[in-house]
Amino acid sequence: MQLQKPSYQKRLFPNFRWPAGKRCAVAIGWHVDGESGPIAGDPRNAHHLAALSEGAYGVSTALPRLLDLHHELAIPASFFIPGYVAELHPEAVVQVARAGHEVAHHGYLHENVFLLDEAEERDVFERGSQILEGLTGARPVGWSAPGWGLRLSTVERLIEMGMLYDSSLMEYDTPYLLETPRGSLVELPISLILDDWEIFGGSLFPNGGGVNAPVEHAYQIWRDEFDGLRFYGGLFTTTFHPNILGRPSRIRMLHRLFSYMKSFDDVWLATYAEIAAYVRAQAEEIA
């Protein structure tokens, strides 16, 4: 197979600076996969009541607690919600939006679009956007890839839809632009080290197991990573799932972690959309 160079450019910002003298930024991202998570993992889970209930826990039980946590600490968040989950739990989407948080795109059924053809990919994006817009009154401006599935056509699709940002790639610690012949997109990098699935992940079917790590294990990893990103002036972006971190013990751990990060005056706590808008404005100023 002959490999071709990707037809896009990465526009980096040397000596990147956060606004108002901040040293780093924190964007808390919640992936509200709900029932779509187990179904996307194995379609047979559509009839597996226990697996569905585990996913639904993240919406019916955990999400109200998480909204209370963010309200108590006055920390904004971005909630990436598949269209299917929004259809099953429309009141939850409305509650997130009314609380002032960002509602962002996460596919329709948590599809890994890397495995879809372009027509299927387009349908996933349009369906998801229409459902979220119908509930919130605003089209989502950002997306994070379920299963980290991303290709050039996906970037181009996001640009065509007028999206502001993607948050799926892992090469840098600060934001940058993905530039294609069809336009550009802000990239807000993520990392597996800030993915709760890597510490606590599991599924009821087909493998029927998971990991129950001590909460202190996660707290130490994420606090240390925050300290490192603050030192280097980076962006702390999370891939957190309500059904995983919404357990009582883990929410209490998050309270300590979020309080620690908020204790620094030089940390910018913002939504993904706010950070992406800042990056886009900076890019236009130095164009």
List per-residue pLDDT tens for the chain, 287 residues long: 666 566 789 999 988 899 999 999 999 999 999 999 999 999 999 999 999 999 999 999 999 999 999 999 999 999 999 999 999 999 999 999 999 999 999 999 999 999 999 999 999 999 999 999 999 999 999 999 999 999 999 999 999 999 999 999 999 999 999 999 999 999 999 999 999 999 999 889 887 778 889 999 999 999 999 999 999 999 999 999 999 999 999 999 999 999 999 999 999 999 999 999 999 999 888 76
**pTM of the shown model:** 0.96
What is the Cα Rg of the chain in Å? 18
Per-residue pLDDT at 15:
85
Q: Are 78 and 99 in contact (CB under 8 A)?
A: no
Q: Are 40 and 109 in contact (CB under 8 A)?
A: yes
Q: Are 38 and 204 in contact (CB under 8 A)?
A: yes
Cβ density class 71-86: b for 16+ within 10 Å, e for less:
eeeebbbbbbbbbbbb
Per-residue pLDDT at 2:
65
- Distance, in Å, from the CA atom of 258 to the CA atom of 277, rounded to the nearest integer, reads 23
Which residues, 6+ apart, have CB-to-CB distance to 53 below 8 Å?
none
Which residues, 6+ apart, have CB-to-CB distance to 14 below 8 Å?
none
Per-residue pLDDT at 5:
65
First to last CA, the chain: 38
Which is nearest to 44 in space by CA: 186, 255, 204, 215? 204
Per-residue pLDDT at 285:
81
Element (H, E) at 184: strand 183-187
In the numeric block, which tokens belong to residue 255?
Answer: 């309270």
Peptide bond into 206 cis (omega under 30): yes
Which residues, 6+ apart, have CB-to-CB distance to 147 below 8 Å?
40, 110, 112, 114
102: which DSSP letter? Answer: E
Per-residue pLDDT at 220:
98
Q: Are 33 and 85 in contact (CB under 8 A)?
A: yes
Helix pair angle (248-262, 215-232), 10° resolution:
20
- Report in angstroms the alpha-carbon separations of 273 from 40, 86, 124, 158, 166: 26, 20, 21, 14, 10
For 11-79, the DSSP string reads E--TT---GGG-SEEEEEEEE--TTHHHHHH-GGGGG-HHHHHHHHHIIIIIHHHHHHHHHHHT--EEE
One-letter identity of residue 119: A
- Distance, in Å, from the CA atom of 95 to the CA atom of 97, rounded to the nearest integer, reads 5
Which is nearest to 203 in space by CA: 253, 241, 168? 241
Per-residue pLDDT at 4:
59
